[in-house]
Amino acid sequence: MLRDIGLILLFAAIIALLGLVPRIDLPMLGGVPITAQSMGVTLAGVMIGARRGALAAAVFLIAVAFGLPLLAGGRGGIEVFQGPTAGFLLGFIPAAFLTGMLFEALSYRMGVFFAALIAAFIGGYVVLNLLGIPVMAYLSDKTVREAVDVALGLLPGGIVKALGTAVLAYLAGGMEPLGRR
């Protein structure tokens, strides 16, 4: 149990540290920045498993809600959950969980790299956008079509982050999430 807590806190810290990577703000993305933090979320799911990865994302979001400036650009506080990025942020928890579940299911069949790549793309891009698009459309007075266009603008970054997660998982060299070894 103590090891689980340590892994959860470690990956919550990794997600926070990835907030130090400068965010990319493009006008066509309607206020949704491209950040490295979603890669931390998928990395947590792959490296420490679905349940612990989701808990790491939850710990991170709780810290943000309490005002710690952990989001890219030094943002924090409850108000970030009231803007156009709210759905993407709240999607961190199911994204980490689904990424971990997919990785565990696929890694024995297709190897670490490809399992992590597929799991991270589905968890980190598809899930985050399924949750982020409707919330962004509602909170920013965009149509759903305009919000989908924003999500398509995030696709190249989603692919790069999925590749980053896959490379790191491969370099870590194990098929089982940390804590099961």
Residues 58-111: tens digit of each pLDDT: 999 999 999 999 998 899 999 999 998 899 999 999 999 999 999 999 988 888
Give, in order, the Cα–Cα distances in Å from 144 to each of 27, 88, 121, 139.
17, 15, 22, 11
- Number of Cβ within a 10 Å radius of residue 15: 28
Give all domains of the chain, ordered by start, each with its CATH number. 1-172 (1.10.1760.20)
Helix, coil or strand: residue 58: helix
Report, in angstroms and rounded to the nearest whole number, the Rg of the chain calculated over CA atoms.
15
What residues form DSSP beta bridges with 71?
75
Q: Which residues of 120-155 are buried (b: 16+ CB within 10 A; e: fewer)?
A: bbbbbbebbbebbbebbbebbebeeeebeebbeebe
Question: Which tens digits make up the pLDDT trace of 133-181?
Answer: 999 999 988 899 988 988 888 888 888 888 988 888 888 865 455 555 4
pTM of the prediction?
0.89
